[in-house]
Amino acid sequence: MKNSLLLIAALCFSLLSSFGQARNINVSGLKRKYVLYLPKDYQAARPHALVFNFHGGGMTAVEQMFYTRMNQTADQHRFIVVYPAGLKNDWNVGFDMSYLHGSDDIGFIKSLLDSLKKEFQIDKHAVFATGLSRGGFFCHRLAAEMPADFAAIASVGGPLPDSVRYYHRSAMKVSVMQVLGNADQVVNYDGKSGAYASAEATFNYWSMKNNLVRNNIKTRELNRHKKDETVVQIKEVKGDGAGVSLVTVRNGGHTWPGSDPFNIGYPLGKTSQDIDINELIWQFFLENKK
């Protein structure tokens, strides 16, 4: 039995190594973990965009990597992707944890970004963040607290946390995409009192912070393939060096659009197959480099 367990562990490590590098970094006396993926045609001398991809609460960095399938997008568009791991599989977003005195996840990301910049040729104008659920909530905190580092964020299933809005002091612009299903039963599209804003309020907040409230808002619908009952609607505003986008998945649940539908015992709802959210996110990032 012991030998069998060792063999399984070795196979799992080998599988992970083929998809990404399991690493750790010491931050304030704590060992923080992450998975790093370099695109297949990575060239050390060439500057690369860097995308942080944050897992949801209760998930692991490896699960986020396989679920979102962002390594495939990284290969196609030649960017580096890193999957940080939260302490106890969570992120400090200001509810269910003290914003000021909970885990120092901002310190972790600052240290990790500094370390990656020393090791690799990173395009400083193309550092981005995306994430699911708690990871998506945390992306808003990064936009508020590290606007000099992140050009844009794309949150999936995690609108603006109340604590981020309360403590947000920077006037620097950061482009923001919010993706949310209006049938999400885990994170409410209309917000939750004492926790987070609605999807529409999130769009309005970042439009205001980026001085875009007087610009023309455009809307469009994506449902070309009609593979399921979901309809993807996009509301966006651009200009003055920043953009804000709200991607609403009508009838969509607490899922990553374009990924494999799965259920782990929670009411996750429908996964739209009408779009590849990775591609939509990447195009938003490209349009909003600093």
How many distinct structural domains can be found in the chain?
1
Contacts of 77 (CB under 8 A, 6+ apart): 39, 49, 282
The pLDDT value recorded for residue 274 is: 86
Each residue of 35-91: pLDDT tens digit? 999 999 999 999 999 999 999 999 999 999 999 999 999 999 999 999 999 999 999
- Domain membership flag for residue 176: yes
- Domain membership flag for residue 5: no
Tell which residue, 86, 83, 85, 69, has the closest CA to residue 37.
83
d(CA 52, CA 34) in angstroms, rounded, equals 10
| Domain CATH number, residue 141 | 3.40.50.1820
Each residue of 108-145: pLDDT tens digit? 999 999 999 999 999 999 999 999 999 999 999 999 99
- Domain membership flag for residue 4: no
- Domain membership flag for residue 39: yes
Radius of gyration of the chain (CA): 18
- Domain membership flag for residue 12: no
Q: pLDDT > 70: what percent of the chain?
A: 90
Main-chain dihedrals φ then ψ at residue 23, nearest 5 degrees? -135, 170
Is pTM, for the whole model, over 0.95? no
- Domain membership flag for residue 222: yes
The pLDDT value recorded for residue 74 is: 98
What mean pLDDT comes out for the span 229-238? Answer: 95
Each residue of 155-177: pLDDT tens digit? 999 999 999 999 999 999 999 99
* Residue range(s) defining the domain that contains residue 122: 21-287
Sign, CA torsion 178/158/27/81: negative
- Domain membership flag for residue 7: no
- Domain membership flag for residue 30: yes
The pLDDT value recorded for residue 120 is: 98
Q: Are 50 and 78 in contact (CB under 8 A)?
A: no
